[in-house]
Structure 1
Amino acid sequence: MATSTSTSMSSMSTSMTMNMVFTNTHTTPLFSTQWTPTTSGSYAGTCVFLIILAILARVLVAFKALMERHWLDAHLNRRYVAVAGKSPEAGRIDTDPEAKVASLVTAQGVEEKVRVVRTVTHAPLPWRFSVDLPRALIFLVITGVSYLLMLAVMTMNVGYFCSVLTGAFLGELAVGRFIQWNEHGH
Structure 2
Amino acid sequence: MSKLAGKRTRDEVAAAIRGFTPADRARLESTSRYFGRARGFEPEVLLQEALMRAVDGRSCPDHVDVVRFVAQIMRSVAHGESEKLENQVNLVAIDHFGGAADAACQVADEADDAETQLMSAERAEACKKMHDAIIALFKDDDAALLIFEGITDDLSVAEMLELAGLDKTAYQSKRKFIRRTIDKHFPNGWKS
Instruction: Give the structure, 1 or 2, with the largest relative contact order (CA under 8 Å, sep 6 or more).
Output: 1
TM surpasses 0.5: no
TM class by shorter chain equals under 0.3
Whichever structure has more strand as a proportion of its residues is: 1
Larger radius of gyration: 1
